[in-house]
Amino acid sequence: MLKRIIKKVGMSIAPHVMIEFLSARSQRLIQKIERDSGCGKASQDFVAAHGREVLRGPFKDMRYPERIARERNLVHRLVGSYERELHPWIEEIILGNYAMLVDIGTADGFYAVGFAMRMPSTKVIGFDTDRWARGATRELVQENGCVNVEVKSICTPAWIRDNVLPNSLIFSDCEGYEMALFDPEVAPILTACDVVIELHERVEPGVEDAIRARFSATHDIRLSTYFDHDPAEFAELEVLPLDMRRAVISEGRGGPQNVLFLTRKG
Query: What mean pLDDT, rounded, does the chain reach?
Result: 93
> What pLDDT sits at residue 15?
60
Q: What is the pLDDT of residue 79?
A: 98
Dist CA 170 CA 100 (whole Å): 8
> What is d(CA 253, CA 107) in angstroms, rounded to the nearest whole number?
15
Cα distance between residue 99 and residue 72, in whole Å: 32
Q: Are 76 and 251 spatial neighbours (Cβ–Cβ below 8 Å)?
A: yes
Distance between CA atoms of residues 253 and 266, nearest Å: 35
pLDDT at position 26, please?
A: 85
Q: Give the pLDDT confidence score for residue 18 in this predicted structure.
A: 63
CB 92 within 8 A of CB 104: no
The 10s digit of each residue's pLDDT in 19-74 is 787 887 887 888 898 899 999 999 999 999 999 999 999 999 999 999 999 999 99
Q: Residue 225 sits in which domain range? A: 2-264
What CATH number does residue 183 fall under?
3.40.50.150
What pLDDT score was predicted for residue 2? Answer: 39
Residue 3 has pLDDT above 50, yes or no: no
Segment 125-159, tens digit of pLDDT: 999 999 999 999 999 999 999 999 999 999 999 99
Contact 79, 249 (CB under 8 A): yes
Number of domains, the chain: 1
Percentage of the residues of the chain whose pLDDT score is greater than 90? 85
| Cα radius of gyration rounded to whole Å, the chain | 18
Give per-residue pLDDT as tens, 252-265: 888 899 999 999 99
